[in-house]
Structure 1
């Protein structure tokens, strides 16, 4: 007989589920699903060693484990903290965690310009969501923001370093998808910035994926810049015959015109299949694609609200059928 697989009991905001040992609080909460999943600006499951940089996923551990039920004295980064058997975590139900996330959001916005009206990422930006949920009405800093000139770091990619939050996702994606390293984080502390080596351009066949992993508008597609606001476009699942990648992508349409092409992402905005530059930048003719149907963008964004509105009182289906989603009253601690 095969040995029974050992599992840990994990609870977040009153929702309990059995999870495998060795996973983090963030991954365990994603298995439960629902609104209690902490946000993540730097963690990206497909990228090795990601996480631990932005601190937006801070949670309060109210019970360490069954063997040691003492709470952890400080907020912890859920993307870097492993689950223990019997661990109880508070996210939405913790005022301490919400205050910590609000402070982190303020820190991320210290140098970030509020140029959402002209940013191509507006409408699908995670920092925009955090700013709306936790941001202050005005900045409290008296220092000038860091400013950079927009830079072409390849034939297809524009870098707006002003918007960068140094999550390092693009660096990790380039390191793990390409054979040679041509860009990274230069300098340290408040002088740190993303840039390339002298006279280097990002031209690898898969380098366009750094645009998809960027959570803000720091890296944008030069072939689609200022072509349309994202909420005026219609995302469609489509496939093409490609010898470099799977050919599975999301084609963003405006009328009969293809505005841009991106990789397919899951509900946590993480890429499911990396696509090549040919599919992303060169195939803008509808005759080159086989359309499968509309793509539902499973997140609270204007994209979903415009095209696929759900009833307000409909309970969201959780990934774990044994877990129950907390109510809005539970979220605010009533």
Structure 2
């Protein structure tokens, strides 16, 4: 970490200089940006848990403390504007006082935090794990029993292990400010504090899966994704969400060329927000569902349904039927129709082939399926424009 020294509004005396435009549209002073955000723009990273740029300021984790000259005690960088702090003053982000404050904060956070790293799905991408390594200490002074918090059932998407919760309230602010559901809240005081639903109910929102990404620890993880893989086993591919009209940028994580999870791409400047819907996040699970139709069906003349052994047998049957119509009995289908049912998520290439197919044969009728469960082109849709990356990996 580097120290941030001798910053003034009109005179910048430091190696890092933020260029201001004359129209002040990118002027952080004018917009009263938090000090932690301004430090990030000039390459100085301040550790934090509760702060998120798309949520309101909470300032309860106290991990982002910095030292302000002539201040009796450290200040919270996420709750203080850069304009007020850097006006004829000095800020230190790596002084002995700041280091000691971070060590004390981490010691309090780890008092009741269980040692679940080997069995936690957040292992390898946990903020508490990383910051304990860089800013924490190896000794401990607490040898009593750790407290235990009852897990909550907040729905089929989010798995809760509330003993790991550090009360950053990101999920609470997300539910209140982004989804507007007010389903989550903080209860109790002191040692009895815990996060849960106000009544015994689920977190009902189409964006509920985003609290999995917001949680800095393993308190909120993906319920359909337990113990599947570690973060270092996955390869990521940038893609675009096909399920909405906003072309949201997403990250598709692969293991053995199989999609394991999907998250929003936070670093993309094209995204207006950092949220994706639950449909975007978990729709790929239908690809591997045992309820999918893996083999074709042939209806015989006596209305009996027979399952074909392979797709080749079914396709050969269709080819023979079309050949019979074209060359032997062109009037056979005048009173009959061949219905081709397709899903709404098929790729443009498949839709184009279906259109050519229906134009060539007048008896072919295209119908859109109301059930999105059986989708053979879902993986191809996610990897549009990235098939070379997938092949190379």
Shorter-chain TM-score bucket reads 0.7 to 0.9
Counterpart secondary structure, 1:112: coil
Query: In structure 1, which of residues 80, 87, 90 is the aligned counterpart of residue 89 of structure 2?
Result: 87
Structure that is richer in helix per residue: 2
| 55 and 43 in structure 1: CA distance in 2 versus 1, 3 angstrom threshold | same
Deviation at 1:271, TM superposition (A): 9.7
Partners of 2:89 and 2:245 lie apart in 1 by: 44
Alignment check: 8 A CA contact 1:61 1:90 kept: yes
Choose which of 59, 75, 79 in structure 2 pairs with 1:52: 59
**Secondary structure at the residue paired with 1:151?**
coil
Q: Distance in 2 between matches of 1:9 and 1:218?
A: 44
CA contact (8 A) 2:65 2:101 kept: yes
Distance change >3 Å, CA 29–CA 11, structure 1 → 2: farther
Return the TM-score normalized by structure 1. 0.75
In 1, Cα distance between equivalents of 2:78 and 2:189: 23
Look up the match of 1:314: none
Aligned equivalent of 1:25, options 25, 35, 41: 35
Which ranges in structure 2 are unaligned for 5 or more consecutive residues?
1-7, 20-27, 288-378, 388-393
Q: Distance in 2 between matches of 1:165 and 1:198?
A: 21
- Decide whether aligned partners of structure 1 residues 188 and 32 sit closer, same or farther in structure 2, where only a CA change above 3 A counts: same
Tell me by how many angstroms 1:10 deviates. Answer: 7.9
Q: For residue 152 of structure 1, give the secondary structure of its aligned residue in structure 2.
A: coil
Q: Deviations over 1:172-197 (max 9, x none)?
A: 11112223221211112211111113
Q: Residues 172 and 184 of structure 2 are in contact (CA less than 8 Å); yes or no, is this contact kept in structure 1?
A: yes
> What is the match of residue 380 of structure 2?
287
SS in 1 for 2:159: strand
Alpha-carbon shift at residue 88 of structure 1 (Å) = 1.8
Please give the residue correspondences for 1:98-117 in structure 2 after superposition, counting only pairs within 5 Å.
Answer: 98-117=99-118
Moved more, 37-46 or 235-244: 235-244
Q: d(CA) in 2 for partners of 1:139 and 1:10?
A: 44
| Residue 24 (structure 1) shift | 2.3
Pair 1:37-2:38 in alignment = no
Change (3 A) 1:179 1:278: same
Instruction: Tell me how far 1:156 sits from its aligned partner.
Output: 0.8
Quick one: distance in 2 between partners of 1:261 and 1:281? 7
Residue aligning to 1:315: none
The match for 1:151 is: 152
Count of residues in correspondence between the two structures: 274
Distance 1:255 1:231 in 2: 13
Give deviations 1:38-58, integer Å, cap 9, x for gaps. 11100101012x331101001
User: CA distance change for structure 1 residues 32 and 253 in 2, over 3 Å: closer, same or farther?
Assistant: same
| Cα root mean square deviation, aligned | 2.5
- Report the CA distance shift for 1:283/1:38 in structure 2 as closer, same or farther (over 3 A): same
1:259 alignment partner in structure 2: 260
| 1:79 CA displacement | 0.6
Structure-2-length-normalised TM-score: 0.64
Structure 1: segments with no counterpart, 5+ residues: 1-6, 63-70, 295-334
Shift of residue 11, structure 1, vs aligned partner: 6.6
What is the match of residue 354 of structure 2? none
Give the structure 2 partner of residue 72 of structure 1: 71
The 2-side partners of 1:172 and 1:124 are apart by 22
> What does the per-residue CA deviation read over 1:5-60, in whole Å, with 9 as the maximum and x for residues that have no partner?
xx925879864546524222212211211xx3211100101012x33110100111
Cα distance, 1:9–1:112 mapped onto 2, change above 3 Å: farther
State the distance in 2 between where 1:181 and 1:234 align.
36
**Alpha-carbon distance between aligned partners in 2 of 1:12 and 1:135, rounded to the nearest angstrom:** 31
1:229: which partner in 2?
230
